[in-house]
Amino acid sequence: MQKNKSLSVREVGIMNTNKAYLGVYMALALAANVAYHALVSNLFT
C-alpha cells in the first residue's frame, strides 16, 4: 500500500512537470506566432 502511494505521488510529480513544460512550450509558440505575424504585416504593408 505504501509503495503504491509513493508511486502515485511520483507520477503526479511527473505529470505536473510535464504540464509545466507544456505550458512553457505553448507560451513560447504563441509568442513566436505573434512575432511572426507582426513581422509579416510589417513587411507586406
pLDDT in tens, 29-42: 999 999 999 999 99
pLDDT at 6 over 90: no
* Spatial separation of the C-alpha atoms in residues 5 and 30, rounded to whole Å: 37
Q: What percent helix, strand, coil does the chain show, rounded to 5? A: 95, 0, 5
Q: What pLDDT shows up at residue 5?
A: 72
Using the predicted structure, report yes or no on whether residue 7 has a pLDDT greater than 90. no
Cell numbers 512550450 correspond to: 25
pTM of the model: 0.60
pLDDT, tens digit, for every residue of 12-30?
999 999 999 999 999 999 9
